[in-house]
Amino acid sequence: MGQTIGDIATALGLEAVGDLSLVIRRPALPGEAGAEDLALAMEKKYARTLSGTAARAAVLWPEADWQDLGLEAAIFVPRPRYAMAGLTQAFAPPSHLPTAIHPTAVIDPTADLPPDAAVGPYAVIGPDVRIGQGARIDAHVSIAAGTRIGPGAVLNAGVRIGPRVTIGTRFVAQANAVIGADGFSHVTPERSAVEAAKETGATRDAVQTTAFVRIASLGSVTIGDDVEVGAGSTIDRGTVTETRIGHGSKIDNLVQIGHNVQVGEACLLCGQCGIAGSTTLGDRVVLGGQVGLADHLKIGSDVLIAASSGVGTNIPPGSIFMGTPAAKREVFVQQVTLTRRLPWLFEAVERLQKAVSKDETNG
Amino acid sequence: MGQTIGDIATALGLEAVGDLSLVIRRPALPGEAGAEDLALAMEKKYARTLSGTAARAAVLWPEADWQDLGLEAAIFVPRPRYAMAGLTQAFAPPSHLPTAIHPTAVIDPTADLPPDAAVGPYAVIGPDVRIGQGARIDAHVSIAAGTRIGPGAVLNAGVRIGPRVTIGTRFVAQANAVIGADGFSHVTPERSAVEAAKETGATRDAVQTTAFVRIASLGSVTIGDDVEVGAGSTIDRGTVTETRIGHGSKIDNLVQIGHNVQVGEACLLCGQCGIAGSTTLGDRVVLGGQVGLADHLKIGSDVLIAASSGVGTNIPPGSIFMGTPAAKREVFVQQVTLTRRLPWLFEAVERLQKAVSKDETNG
Amino acid sequence: MGQTIGDIATALGLEAVGDLSLVIRRPALPGEAGAEDLALAMEKKYARTLSGTAARAAVLWPEADWQDLGLEAAIFVPRPRYAMAGLTQAFAPPSHLPTAIHPTAVIDPTADLPPDAAVGPYAVIGPDVRIGQGARIDAHVSIAAGTRIGPGAVLNAGVRIGPRVTIGTRFVAQANAVIGADGFSHVTPERSAVEAAKETGATRDAVQTTAFVRIASLGSVTIGDDVEVGAGSTIDRGTVTETRIGHGSKIDNLVQIGHNVQVGEACLLCGQCGIAGSTTLGDRVVLGGQVGLADHLKIGSDVLIAASSGVGTNIPPGSIFMGTPAAKREVFVQQVTLTRRLPWLFEAVERLQKAVSKDETNG
């Protein structure tokens, strides 16, 4: 499994120096690197850590003195994070995904799979499903009737894809993700507690009933190209239109996306964030971990919402928002700063009260 | 699959006008409606959107002038959201759920299934399970020993139902929901960090130990009639009593319900909310998305807790609470308003200090 | 299934009085206890509740007068919560887990299972997997290539274990937990929105691109002894090193643990909390429900973070933190208290302004 420094550098289009024939087995953190590892010391701060190891080769920051660091070979990277993509792919271990159709897979005779499809044990593929070339579908995946998935899909174990979902190319779903469940949409014949709270300010003005009726999900989910959905994440079907995820958007684990939500292109939705029904995101929106968006909002393109924020209002394009209720970054930072100074403020006011009261007594 | 305007209106008990024999294929958003669609323009604000489309029929607000909108037929709805339930059900596509018992389903000989049960591929039903009429159980569902499920159940793919769970009629579980896992209840022989923090204020006063011992879950989960549990949601078993979900309560995706929790009737628990162990909810409680309730709380009936709130105290019936730590709505709104005015307050106090200091200097 | 009071007390090492031959069937809450139940009245506050029931035996606080409470027998416990562990285990119902290898389990010929392994229907165990003695693996579990699991493991239905995971002894995974998914790590060739926000304060300074490239997860997950992972929780693999969970740590339901995270020993991670990539926790750390930790943080040993908190900074050992952004408990409590007093402060300042303005007018 070893590769030479020269081959790695060539494959990644990077500059290498020293003994280009040196064979390394895997990349490693600077403090954990052994003699056969490629130490990842891409920032100057790792220089000292590196010098204490047996590493003979490293990936270094551009101006590093590799010989002074005691190395026999080095690769230089101008943009460390991006270099990690190529480096980790170069050393990726063999895939654990299936390579052929397992005899226990239950594939409906009307499903259309490509000749090279790989389907793991006990996967279930329903009627009228169409799947593109190169799909790797792991054990226990289920795909319901009428779903279309483009070429190059990777569906890890236990992924659930509901009916009539449409997915583009190179889709990745991590284990136990659920795409295309029914939307959470239940109505009452008369005014509900939520409606009463909005209209009269009191939940008691609702008509008390247990008679919720489901609004069915006639729509489904449409997902663009190069989308990834994380482990355990859930995306509900739309009511009369589609729930949509745009090209290139990446969704982390345990993220919830409600019915009718529209996510633009190249968005990053971090772990455990949630988007309530019918909210729309522009392109390149970043939601930090555990961010919550209320329903029916419009979030503009290039918006970044910091982790742990709760958003109840529309957000204009290009904004950075934080907090609950979320505010512009500079407003939020000021609020936090001033809140920390409240003890001083209370004391100042009490001192002023005494001073003024004394003035009045004296005056 | 088309239906006439007249038939739809009759089925839903609504008033229709114009060409009642006009056949439509599906409901559609006002801006997306084509010539064969039923445009959903149930509020006046959609009038302009509608006029730009090819729609020939629409669902309209009561006083709408349908002919002026260029329509050939219309249905009027007094309560739009409720009408959506009937409309979407009228056009619901054929179900993707199984219609018979698949030969690969593993059903214990002591399990009692009705003659009309439908069980998908690779579902596993354990000993002493009893399931009511009309159940549709999708692929890869597992149901553990001793569980009882009432008539009309829908269990989507990958649902996990633990041992000795009792469920009423018309239960719906979305894909990968987990009902009846072990409660999260681990104790230490001596004072733990959480106990020390409560008692002495310092986690360091705990006896340092790794020796957690599990409190077993002897109880199970009891669920009433007409309950729905969303995709990926988890409900733990009780310790010596049951974790209970009351009739008509609806639970969204990725919701966590701890051991011994008691949820009343007709509650709505929105996406990603969490209820810690032994907390009790009255009837018609609404928890917004990502709401967190601490353990051992009592939340009264008709309480509404806004999205993103964290609750650490009991809440009296009929209240609307918000924020973390959650407070009454009017208190929370005032706090948010005043916090936004803090910059003014700090400046005012600084001006006062100067004025008073000058007075004193002058005085 | 009944047991005598004497046998129970002996098994748990507790003191018993009265009719030690009395047979009871199960423990019960004080208000729900019948004649054959063991009422759990371990605190004085339950005395009145108990007296209204048919209970003939109870577990009582040390100084209780059991005869005055109308009981025929009693067991005394010095530490109620800990006694619950033994009591519930003594009455635990028979396990629903499999007792043998089901013929439908797909076990790769290169996998190494012990002679006493129990594997449920449709479980899938990949190549080069090694599993220790006494493992009970329920239906629909999948274990990918190269994974090692120590003796005594319990894997509930639908658990997903990814490739090359290493797990110690007595591991418990609740249903649908996912261990070893790909890390959420996507980079852009040029400056991304998050980087731009940090560097220039504006997401618009990013190079707009949809071209995310995945950083592969070469590492896997290493889990110590006596660890439990809750239903639906997700733990991602590391990038070049391992994601690690230390001995004795317990993880509740729907918890998300990102790539490269290091969790120490005997930590408690409550429901729906989330830890972003590369963050490190010491030993005995407690995260309350829905706590969020940002990436690359260092959280010291014996830290307790209250439920609903969002943490963006390192936390020193032994601290108790609360709020978003999280602060030391005493700081947070003061902030909450003072924020509640803001209405008074605003009024005080307005009164001062009037008084000072009058002074100046008079002066």
Given a contact cutoff of 8 angstroms between Cβ atoms, the answer to whether B290 and A290 are in contact is yes
Q: What would the pLDDT profile of C283-293 be if each residue is shown by its tens digit? A: 999 999 999 99
Torsion over CA: B119, B123, B127, B132 (sign): negative
Q: What is the mean pLDDT of chain C?
A: 94
Residues of A in contact with B32 (CB under 8 A): 241
Name the more confident of A327 and B52: A327
What is the pLDDT, as a whole number, of residue B283? 96
How many beta-carbon contacts under 8 Å exist across B and C? 232
What is the pLDDT, as a whole number, of residue A361? 67
The 3-class secondary structure across chain C, one letter per residue, is CCEEHHHHHHHHCCEEEECCCCEECEEECHHHCCCCEEEEECCHHHHHHHHCCCCCEEEECCCCCCCCCCCCEEEECCCHHHHHHHHHHHCCCCCCCCCCECCCCEECCCCECCCCCEECCCCEECCCCEECCCCEECCCCEECCCCEECCCCEECCCCEECCCCEECCCCEECCCCEEEECCCCEECCCCCHHHHHHHCCCHHHCCCCCCCEECCCCCCEEECCCCEECCCCEEECCCCCCEEECCCCEECCCCEECCCCEECCCCEECCCCEECCCCEECCCCEECCCCEECCCCEECCCCEECCCCEECCCECCCCEEECCCCEEHHHHHHHHHHHHCHHHHHHHHHHHHHHHHHHHHHC
Q: Is residue A39 helix, strand or coil?
A: strand
How many Å is the Cα radius of gyration of chain C?
A: 28
Angle at B276 between CA B273 and CA B277, to 5 degrees: 145
* Cβ separation C232–A176 shorter than 8 A: yes
What is the pLDDT, as a whole number, of residue A200? 82
Average pLDDT for residues B105-132, to the nearest whole number?
98
Other beta carbons less than 10 A from residue A119's beta carbon: 26
**Option in B239, B325, B355 nearest C88 (CB):** B239
Q: Can you tell me which residue has the tokens 């309730």?
A: B293
What percent of chain C lies above the pLDDT cut of 90?
Answer: 80
Average pLDDT for residues B327-356, to the nearest whole number?
95
Name the more confident of C79 and C124: C124
- For residue A152, name the pLDDT band (cuts at 50, 70, 90): very high
What is the pLDDT, as a whole number, of residue C104? 98
* Cβ separation B163–C93 shorter than 8 A: yes
Other beta carbons less than 10 A from residue B77's beta carbon: 21
Q: Which of A48-52, B165-169, B314-318, C347-351 has the lowest mean pLDDT?
A: A48-52
* Cβ separation A79–C140 shorter than 8 A: no
Length, in residues, of chain C: 363
Average pLDDT for residues A205-209, to the nearest whole number?
72
pLDDT value at A158 more than 70:
yes
Q: Which amino acid is at C324?
A: T
- For residue A303, name the pLDDT band (cuts at 50, 70, 90): very high
What is the pLDDT, as a whole number, of residue C203? 78
The residue among B249, B318, B253, B260 whose CA lies nearest residue B293 is: B260
- For residue A314, name the pLDDT band (cuts at 50, 70, 90): very high
A contact test, residue of B252, B286, B328, B339 with most A CBs within 10 A? B252
Tokens representing C24 are 């009871």
Q: What would the pLDDT profile of B81-111 be if each residue is shown by its tens digit? A: 888 999 999 899 999 999 999 999 999 999 9
| Cα separation, A34 vs A37, whole angstroms | 5
Given a contact cutoff of 8 angstroms between Cβ atoms, the answer to whether C281 and C275 are in contact is yes
What is the pLDDT, as a whole number, of residue C209? 65
| Cα separation, B219 vs C337, whole angstroms | 40
Q: Is residue A345 helix, strand or coil?
A: helix
pLDDT value at B35 more than 60:
yes
- For residue C194, name the pLDDT band (cuts at 50, 70, 90): confident
What is the pLDDT, as a whole number, of residue C361? 67
pLDDT value at A205 more than 80:
no
Q: What would the pLDDT profile of A70-83 be if each residue is shown by its tens digit? A: 999 999 998 888 88
- For residue A230, name the pLDDT band (cuts at 50, 70, 90): very high
Q: Omega of the bond prior to A189 within 30 degrees of 0, cis?
A: no
Torsion over CA: C335, C340, C341, C342 (sign): positive
- Residue A279: partners with Cβ closer than 8 Å, 6 or more residues away: A258, A261, A262, A293, A294, A295, A296, A297, A298, A299
Residues of C in contact with A121 (CB under 8 A): 106, 122, 124
| Cα separation, A305 vs A312, whole angstroms | 12
- For residue B1, name the pLDDT band (cuts at 50, 70, 90): low
* Cβ separation A266–C240 shorter than 8 A: no
Chains that touch A (3 or more CB pairs under 8 A): B, C
What is the pLDDT, as a whole number, of residue B226? 97
* Cβ separation A181–B253 shorter than 8 A: yes
**Option in C178, C209, C214 nearest A231 (CB):** C178
Average pLDDT for residues B166-185, to the nearest whole number?
97
Which residues on neighbouring strands pair with residue B275, listed in sequence order? Answer: B257, B293
Q: What would the pLDDT profile of B179-227 be if each residue is shown by its tens digit? A: 999 999 998 888 887 788 878 888 777 777 668 999 999 999 999 999 9
First vs last Cα of chain C: how many Å apart?
Answer: 90
The residue among A273, A120, A290, A144 whose CA lies nearest residue A221 is: A144
Residues of A in contact with C186 (CB under 8 A): 228, 250, 268
pLDDT value at C363 more than 60:
no
Is C259 one of the catalytic residues? yes
- For residue B66, name the pLDDT band (cuts at 50, 70, 90): very high
Average pLDDT for residues A269-277, to the nearest whole number?
98
pLDDT value at A206 more than 80:
no
Q: Is residue A170 helix, strand or coil?
A: coil
Given a contact cutoff of 8 angstroms between Cβ atoms, the answer to whether A51 and A10 are in contact is no
Burial call A280-296: b when 16+ CB within 10 Å, e when fewer: bbbbbbbbbbbbbbbbe
What is the pLDDT, as a whole number, of residue B134? 97
Residues of B in contact with A244 (CB under 8 A): none
Q: Is residue A161 helix, strand or coil?
A: strand
Residues of A in contact with B121 (CB under 8 A): 106, 122, 124
- For residue C159, name the pLDDT band (cuts at 50, 70, 90): very high
Strand C130-131 and strand C106-107: the pairing is unpaired
- For residue B238, name the pLDDT band (cuts at 50, 70, 90): very high
Q: What would the pLDDT profile of C210-251 be if each residue is shown by its tens digit? A: 689 999 999 999 999 999 999 999 999 999 999 999 999 999
Q: Is residue A349 helix, strand or coil?
A: helix
What are the phi and psi torsion angles at A136 (to 5°)?
-120, 115
Q: Which amino acid is at B154?
A: V
Q: What would the pLDDT profile of C85-117 be if each residue is shown by its tens digit? A: 999 998 999 999 999 999 999 999 999 999 999
The maximal CA–CA distance of chain B, rounded, in angstroms, is 98
Q: What would the pLDDT profile of C26-65 be if each residue is shown by its tens digit? A: 999 988 999 999 999 999 999 888 888 899 999 999 889 9
pLDDT value at A313 more than 90:
yes
pLDDT value at A30 more than 70:
yes
| Cα separation, A81 vs A92, whole angstroms | 17
**Option in B121, B288, B318 nearest A124 (CB):** B121
- For residue C82, name the pLDDT band (cuts at 50, 70, 90): confident
Q: Give the residue on C whose Cα is nearest the Cα of B327.
A: C340
What is the pLDDT, as a whole number, of residue A238? 97
Given a contact cutoff of 8 angstroms between Cβ atoms, the answer to whether A194 and B288 are in contact is no
Which residues on neighbouring strands pair with residue B51, listed in sequence order? Answer: none
Q: Is residue A35 helix, strand or coil?
A: coil
What is the pLDDT, as a whole number, of residue A210? 62
Q: Which amino acid is at C91?
A: F
What is the pLDDT, as a whole number, of residue B190? 80
What is the pLDDT, as a whole number, of residue B130? 98
**How many Cα atoms within 13 Å fall on the side-chain side of residue B362?**
11
Q: Give the residue on B whose Cα is nearest the Cα of C103.
A: B106
Average pLDDT for residues A297-305, to the nearest whole number?
97
Average pLDDT for residues A5-15, to the nearest whole number?
92
- For residue B40, name the pLDDT band (cuts at 50, 70, 90): very high
Average pLDDT for residues A316-342, to the nearest whole number?
96
Distance, in angstroms, between C86 CA and closest chain B CA? 7
| Cα separation, A266 vs A119, whole angstroms | 29
First vs last Cα of chain B: how many Å apart?
Answer: 91
How many Å is the Cα radius of gyration of chain B?
A: 28
Given a contact cutoff of 8 angstroms between Cβ atoms, the answer to whether A105 and A119 are in contact is yes
The 3-class secondary structure across chain B, one letter per residue, is CCEEHHHHHHHHCCEEEECCCCEECEEECHHHCCCCEEEEECCHHHHHHHHCCCCCEEEECCCCCCCCCCCCEEEECCCHHHHHHHHHHHCCCCCCCCCCECCCCEECCCCECCCCCEECCCCEECCCCEECCCCEECCCCEECCCCEECCCCEECCCCEECCCCEECCCCEECCCCEEEECCCCEECCCCCHHHHHHHCCCHHHCCCCCCCEECCCCCCEEECCCCEECCCCEEECCCCCCEEECCCCEECCCCEECCCCEECCCCEECCCCEECCCCEECCCCEECCCCEECCCCEECCCCEECCCCEECCCECCCCEEECCCCEEHHHHHHHHHHHHCHHHHHHHHHHHHHHHHHHHHHC
Q: Can you tell me which residue has the tokens 């999205």?
A: B307
Average pLDDT for residues A1-5, to the nearest whole number?
85
Q: Which amino acid is at A109?
A: P
Given a contact cutoff of 8 angstroms between Cβ atoms, the answer to whether A268 and A249 are in contact is yes
- For residue C201, name the pLDDT band (cuts at 50, 70, 90): confident
Average pLDDT for residues A294-298, to the nearest whole number?
98
